[in-house]
Amino acid sequence: MLRESMGLNRLRRLGPPATLWRLFSTCSPSVTVLDRLPSALGTLPPGLEAFRQARGIHRWSDRTNQTGSAELHRLPFSRVSEQDLTFFENLLPGRTITDPDVLMVHNVDWMKSVRGSSELLLRPQTTEEVSKILKYCCERRLAVNPQGGNTGLVGGSVPVFDEIILSTSLMNRILSFDKVSGIITCQAGCVLENLSTYLEEHDFIMPLDLGAKGSCQIGGNVATNAGGLRLLRYGSLRGTVLGLEVVLANGTILNLLTNLRKDNTGYDLKQLFIGSEGTLGVITAVSILCPRKPRAVNVAFLGCSSYRKLLETFQCCRGMLGEILSAFEFLDSACMKLLEKHLKLTNPIAENPFYIVIETAGSNATHDEEKLHSFLAEVMASCLVTDGTVATEDAKVKALWSIRERVTEALTHDGYTYKYDISLPLENIYQLVEDMREHLGNKATNVVGYGHVGDGNLHLNITSHSKDPDLLAAIEPYVYEWTARYRGSISAEHGLGLKKRNYIHFSKPPGAVALMNDIKHMLDPYRILNPYKTLPDHS
């Protein structure tokens, strides 16, 4: 047993003994609780204008650009007419929404950083309805903003001007599940957490997991190629998505909904739509290969005195935990301070510059515990790790995970957040945070780093009391140039959306961007699908 062989003490505040243990290192030397991410969408105060002013939310019709680059102008799309409304009301009775209160929620992104001024929300239930909507919009040159759970972090999920919002929220049926292959096929509007709950009842899990699971939808996940907390183990959606059904801009239904693991008949067209952020088609159904539910899950929350030691711990972890390692995540002490200050979470261990969340998932509890124990003994003995705690019971596992998952939420209470999602060689990841701190001096309230170490993905977040153009000018393009110098990606997993579209050149050569434009032109010649997103202006 982990506890006996380590001589570990029991954690007081986290409850029942058999599940969560405190590790004491000889190198240097406490625990606690939390809950889950609340739905951010239910918290908008009344009165959009008052709300905008209070929070400094950007109104796009002001014609300025959050990123400080060129002004954005409404493209010459048609405006929704009475006749259009009649068409949609006949097609979607009771699901053609013009109520400003409902629209307000759909016009503002999760971070409450951008908002559009759409006056029409459509809620189709079937692929055929989506097809009829898009055929009509294409003929009428009406712009459309596909929207899932509206948890996207780059301003891609909300209209910029008056684009019609096409919400997949009512497309939430599971179409089939094969218990032998583990392949689930469902409509695009299924909420990730609901899919997880359904699968767990059948002894399977979803191959992806993220902090927004309670609100985000599988269609949105695929459209953003979301990475999340399990990518290290189960790979990206580019591997686990087996089939897609997509409705093209002109209403054509493209049925690529196969359940085959191997299919080399021509180009793999579904890959075009994965990560295309609603600019090439509306994803209406998805089939995904799901892993079996692990019988044993352990989570270790560890403290490290330096980023170098954190990397050495990762190296050791991969070697010693091997096939049972399912996540290796980190947050820095600045994140922990925000969790303590804004969410009243308590650090379960002694204060450290860095914190690691390691998850193991396997089929044999004894075997996994032995492996984890050997690994922990090794990293403690070699002083790579100074303190830690381990959980195996579900509630405690969730409690430890929420320390990492709720950093995003804590940041929203720290003022205006400038958010960067960078891929870098592992050795350079934290150097960007340190260089940014030095570069910004006292211009920012906080500069924090966290993310998916196992995937080489840093989340660099910078907060300030309110929106600050001078601060922004100090961050950008510095952050993008820094990233390009190390041959990183300026968007590891969140996409480009509205906020990052004009910085694509820092990560992609002109020829690649030109080819992307050609593909956009072929699939959506009138550019009605999610305009102003993903591709740079003047494309």
List the one residue from 156, 348, 454, 456 that touches ligand FAD (CB under 6 A).
156
Contacts with ligand FAD by CB under 6 A: the residue count is 39
Pick from ligand FAD, ligand MLT, none: which does 147 bind, CB < 5 to 8 A by kind? ligand FAD
Evaluated on CA atoms 389, 394, 397, 403, the torsion sign reads negative
Can you tell me the distance from the alpha carbon of 17 to that of 23, in angstroms, rounded to the nearest whole number?
13
State in angstroms the smallest separation of the CB of 171 from ligand FAD.
Answer: 8
Pick from ligand MLT, ligand FAD, none: which does 459 bind, CB < 5 to 8 A by kind? ligand MLT
Q: Does 533 bind ligand MLT (CB under 6 A)?
A: no
Q: Please say which residue, 332 or 421, places its beta carbon nearer to ligand MLT.
A: 421
State in angstroms the smallest separation of the CB of 279 from ligand MLT.
Answer: 21
Q: Quickly count: other Cβ atoms within 10 Å of residue 313's Cβ.
A: 24
Q: What is the 3-state secondary structure (H, E, C) of 259-308?
A: CCCCCCCCCCCHHHHCCCCCCCCEEEEEEEECCECCCEEEEEEEEECCHH
List the one residue from 32, 67, 107, 168 that touches ligand FAD (CB under 6 A).
168
What x-and-dash track marks residues 179-208 binding ligand FAD by CB under 6 A?
---------x--------------------
Q: Does 454 bind ligand FAD (CB under 6 A)?
A: no
Q: Quickly count: other Cβ atoms within 10 Å of residue 247's Cβ.
A: 26
State in angstroms the smallest separation of the CB of 462 from ligand FAD.
Answer: 17
Can you tell me the distance from the alpha carbon of 198 to that of 186, in angstroms, rounded to the nearest whole number?
12
Q: Please say which residue, 352 or 408, places its beta carbon nearer to ligand MLT.
A: 408
- Largest CA-CA distance found in the chain, in angstroms, rounded: 75
State in angstroms the smallest separation of the CB of 286 from ligand FAD.
Answer: 9
Q: Does 459 bind ligand MLT (CB under 6 A)?
A: yes
What x-and-dash track marks residues 415-434 binding ligand MLT by CB under 6 A?
------x-------------
Task: Provide the residue type at 518 as one letter.
Answer: D
Can you tell me the distance from the alpha carbon of 177 to that of 71, in angstroms, rounded to the nearest whole number?
48
Can you tell me the distance from the alpha carbon of 257 to that of 242, in angstroms, rounded to the nearest whole number?
7
How many helices (H) and strands (E) would you count in the chain?
19, 20
Q: Please say which residue, 220 or 388, places its beta carbon nearer to ligand FAD.
A: 220
Instruction: Provide the b/e sequence for 126-163 (b: ≥16 CB within 10 Å).
Output: ebebbbbbbbebbebebbbbbbbbbbbbbbbbbbbbbb
Q: Please say which residue, 421 or 468, places its beta carbon nearer to ligand MLT.
A: 421
Pick from ligand FAD, ligand MLT, none: which does 226 bind, CB < 5 to 8 A by kind? ligand FAD
The single-letter DSSP state of residue 113 is -
Q: Please say which residue, 20 or 57, places its beta carbon nearer to ligand FAD.
A: 57
Inter-CA distances, 284 with 89, 210, 218, 246, Å: 21, 21, 10, 6
Q: Which residue is nearest to ligand FAD (CB)?
A: 220
Q: With 0-12 CB in 10 A as exposed, 13-18 as middle and 19+ as buried, what is 198? A: middle
Contacts with ligand MLT by CB under 6 A: the residue count is 6
Pick from ligand MLT, ligand FAD, none: which does 155 bind, CB < 5 to 8 A by kind? none
What x-and-dash track marks residues 209-228 binding ligand FAD by CB under 6 A?
-xxx---xx-xxx-xx-xxx
State in angstroms the smallest separation of the CB of 212 from ligand MLT.
Answer: 7
Q: Does 211 bind ligand MLT (CB under 6 A)?
A: yes
Inter-CA distances, 298 with 20, 32, 138, 294, 390, Å: 9, 17, 51, 10, 7
Nearest alpha carbon to residue 173 among 187, 194, 191: 187
Q: Does 386 bind ligand MLT (CB under 6 A)?
A: no
Judged by the rule CB under 6 A, the positions of this chain that interact with ligand MLT are 211, 407-408, 421, 451, 459
Judged by the rule CB under 6 A, the positions of this chain that interact with ligand FAD are 37, 110, 145-153, 156-157, 168, 188, 210-212, 216-217, 219-221, 223-224, 226-229, 277-278, 282-283, 408, 493-494, 497, 530, 533
